[in-house]
């Protein structure tokens, strides 16, 4: 199968690397004139075969996609507000294929479908993360599964091929009730965590904030309370949270117990703790927080912890 990735971002390149190792032909769609290295060194904490993860090093050889080509799948992992531009790139270069959306978005399904237009697409979500180091090395984490829209809601002609492709790289699939709702829940949880980590009003060093939060059971207890608030924004959008019991179970138990349990989890699980520290895109982090904040205000919800934390951040960044 031919698998294309829009750009050379961390998420897309991580999955392209794993798929290429499994024998898939991978290609990257980059803008004309952009300088692209022929290879990227990769350091991967691989969680597909060992729950503790395995440290691996390798080289990823980059193939560039051509205009007027058709690919089996095109992976798009872009920051908020950039999906329209991503689709314009595909249309302008006449690149065809089933789109896999690996994006955080607060949009309704109909809004995304309007942007995708004639392209078949399936919504999914990565369980991976990382960063590009200053020396050009991809430092990344890969879990053993992705979240994937179910067959009935995806409505793509090559769903079976996608499952086969993921299976070939030993990437399992978890199917939630609805991927859009799942993403909103994920964003609300992250917003609660971020607002707690940045409760002093500083968010310029996400790595440090994540490390400090994971080591502080009292702060994690506060994060659980904050997440309980932010989940109200998802319920206000009409989502039945009872359909996502496994996703929110940890935030239903007593917050003190949850905080202690989360600290132990981070201390014992390198995969989970490292993905927390490697995600350092402040703009992407702030997008989710702003979406949740404004949704809460829109519905006149009482979210005192979350609002208080975020208003300190907004004052510090002077960007609200």
Count of domains for the chain: 2
- Within 13 Å, how many C-alpha atoms sit on residue 313's CB side? 27
Give the pLDDT score at 205: 87
Does one domain contain both 163 and 214? no
Does one domain contain both 277 and 310? yes
What does the block give as tokens for 261?
Answer: 């349990």
CA 94 – CA 105 distance, rounded (Å):
25
Does one domain contain both 40 and 151? yes
Host domain of residue 311: 181-317
Contact 165, 16 (CB under 8 A): no
Does one domain contain both 70 and 160? yes
CATH code of the domain covering residue 15: 3.40.50.720
Which of these three, 175, 194, 229, is where a domain ends?
175
Contact 26, 97 (CB under 8 A): no
Per the DSSP assignment, residues forming a β-bridge with 54 are: 46
Does one domain contain both 32 and 144? yes
Contact 56, 44 (CB under 8 A): yes
Give the pLDDT score at 48: 97
Does one domain contain both 154 and 110? yes
CA 263 – CA 307 distance, rounded (Å):
24
Give the pLDDT score at 318: 64
Is residue 140 classed as helix, strand or coil in its secondary structure?
strand
* The model's pTM: 0.94
Which of these three, 134, 158, 175, is where a domain ends?
175
Does one domain contain both 166 and 42? yes
CATH code of the domain covering residue 245: 1.10.1040
Does one domain contain both 153 and 22? yes
Q: Mean pLDDT in runs of 10 for the chain (320 residues)?
A: 95 97 97 88 96 95 96 92 93 97 93 96 95 93 97 95 98 97 96 94 88 93 96 98 94 93 90 82 86 97 97 78
| CA neighbor of 116 nearest in space, from 103, 104, 101 | 101
| CA neighbor of 131 nearest in space, from 300, 281, 268, 295 | 281
CA 234 – CA 134 distance, rounded (Å):
37
Does one domain contain both 149 and 17? yes
Question: How big is the chain by its Cα radius of gyration, in Å?
Answer: 19
Give the pLDDT score at 320: 44
Buried b (16+ CB within 10 A) or exposed e, 237-270: eebeeeebeebbeebeeebeebbeebbeebeeeb
CA 60 to chain CA centroid, nearest Å: 22
Which of these three, 144, 175, 206, is where a domain ends?
175
Does one domain contain both 61 and 197? no
Give the pLDDT score at 300: 98
- Within 13 Å, how many C-alpha atoms sit on residue 120's CB side? 16
| CA neighbor of 176 nearest in space, from 143, 144, 148 | 148
CA 169 – CA 110 distance, rounded (Å):
32
Does one domain contain both 119 and 214? no
Does one domain contain both 133 and 196? no
């Amino acid at each position: 199968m031919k698998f294309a990735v829009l750009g050379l971002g961390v998420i897309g390149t991580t999955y392209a690397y794993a798929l290429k190792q499994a024998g898939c032909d991978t290609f990257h769609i980059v803008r004309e004139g952009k300088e692209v290295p022929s290879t990227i060194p990769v350091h991967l904490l691989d969680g597909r075969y060992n729950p503790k993860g395995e440290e691996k090093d390798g080289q990823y050889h980059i193939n560039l996609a051509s205009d007027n080509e058709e690919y089996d799948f095109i992976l798009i992992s872009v920051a908020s507000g950039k999906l329209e531009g991503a689709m314009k790139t595909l249309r302008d270069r006449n690149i065809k294929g089933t789109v896999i959306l690996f994006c955080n978005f607060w949009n309704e399904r109909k809004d995304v479908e309007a942007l995708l237009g004639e392209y078949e697409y399936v919504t999914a979500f990565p369980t991976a993360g990382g960063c590009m180091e200053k020396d050009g090395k991809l430092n990344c984490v890969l879990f053993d599964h992705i979240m994937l829209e179910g067959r009935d809601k995806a409505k793509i002609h090559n769903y079976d091929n996608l499952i086969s492709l993921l299976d070939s790289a030993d990437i399992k699939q978890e199917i939630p009730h609805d991927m859009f709702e799942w993403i909103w829940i994920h964003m609300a949880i992250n917003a609660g965590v971020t607002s707690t980590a940045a409760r002093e009003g500083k968010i310029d060093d996400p790595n440090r904030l994540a490390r400090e939060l994971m080591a502080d059971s009292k702060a994690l207890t506060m994060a659980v309370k904050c997440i309980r608030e932010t989940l109200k924004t998802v319920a206000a959008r009409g989502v039945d949270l009872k359909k996502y019991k496994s996703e929110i179970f940890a935030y239903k138990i007593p917050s003190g117990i949850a905080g202690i349990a989360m600290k132990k989890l981070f201390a014992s699980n390198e995969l989970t703790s490292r993905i927390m520290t490697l995600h350092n895109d402040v703009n992407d982090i702030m997008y989710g927080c702003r979406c949740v904040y404004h949704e809460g205000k829109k519905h006149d919800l009482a979210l005192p912890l979350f609002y208080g934390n975020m208003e300190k951040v907004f004052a510090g960044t002077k960007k609200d």
